[in-house]
A = this chain, B = another copy of it.
Amino acid sequence: MIEKSRSRGRPRSYDPDAVLDRAAQLFWANGFSATSLDDLSAAMGMGRPSIYNAFGDKEALFLRALQRYRDTVALTPLRALEAEDSIRQGLEAFFRQFVAYTTADRSHLGCLLGNVAPITDLPDVQRFVKTGLAAFEAQIAAHLSAAVGRGELPPDYPTQLGARRAVNAGLAISARARYGTPREELLDDAEDATSSVLGVQPLPRRSRVRRTGRT
């Protein structure tokens, strides 16, 4: 599936990326089950048979929309992170960007990959979001490691834990966005997240707690 070569049939009357954006927007707002193919057909501006011809059934379309979403909006925080000079400024930009897109719509939709996609129990979707989250965390960890290499963070800075905190903060922010939390509060959370990530301790690791004793 390299390229839909310019072959000879009737030409498409739609832009694949644009219609996937619209599909993602609809899934983002309503979730998978509550979004009907008629809704999608109307929003994408193409009939249901064209959707089937182009993307397959509803689940396949959902996956394509998730990929498109990941490669566009979900990647903007990472781009913001690597665009800044210092790691602190990078993290601030990262979380600010996160707040920006989770509250972009007037009705604070949160994150499609962080909030709504995991609710579906479609196996392909589950695997997609799971591996996506791991990759996301790995990329943050790589940036933190680079900062350690540049001397911006101490040599014993635990990059895995820092990335973990960053992802967790992002998940909390997007969940809160979906709750309708005002953007100002989320920006405070974002600031707090930055200092939390930068202030992570090297490794207390189950030592100074009095007694774990799992229930």
Contacts and interface: CB of A to CB of B under 8 A. Distances in A.
B171 A176 contact: yes
A139 interface: no
A50 interface: no
Nearest to A97: B215
Contacts of A31: 31, 33, 119-120
Interface in A158-215: 161, 164-165, 167-169, 171-173, 175-176, 178-180, 187, 189, 191-192, 194-196, 201, 204, 206, 209-210, 212, 214-215
A210 to B, nearest CB: 7
Do most interface residues of chain A lie in helix, strand or loop, or is the interface mixed? helix
A92 B30 contact: no
Contacts of A133: 179
Interface residues of A, number: 55
Contact of A169 (B129, B168, B214): B168
A3 interface: no
A215 B115 contact: no
Contacts of A96: 214-215
B115 A175 contact: yes
Contacts of A37: none
A191 B209 contact: yes
A212 B88 CA distance: 11
Interface of A: 29-34, 88-89, 92-93, 96-97, 100, 107, 110, 114-116, 118-121, 126, 129-130, 133, 161, 164-165, 167-169, 171-173, 175-176, 178-180, 187, 189, 191-192, 194-196, 201, 204, 206, 209-210, 212, 214-215
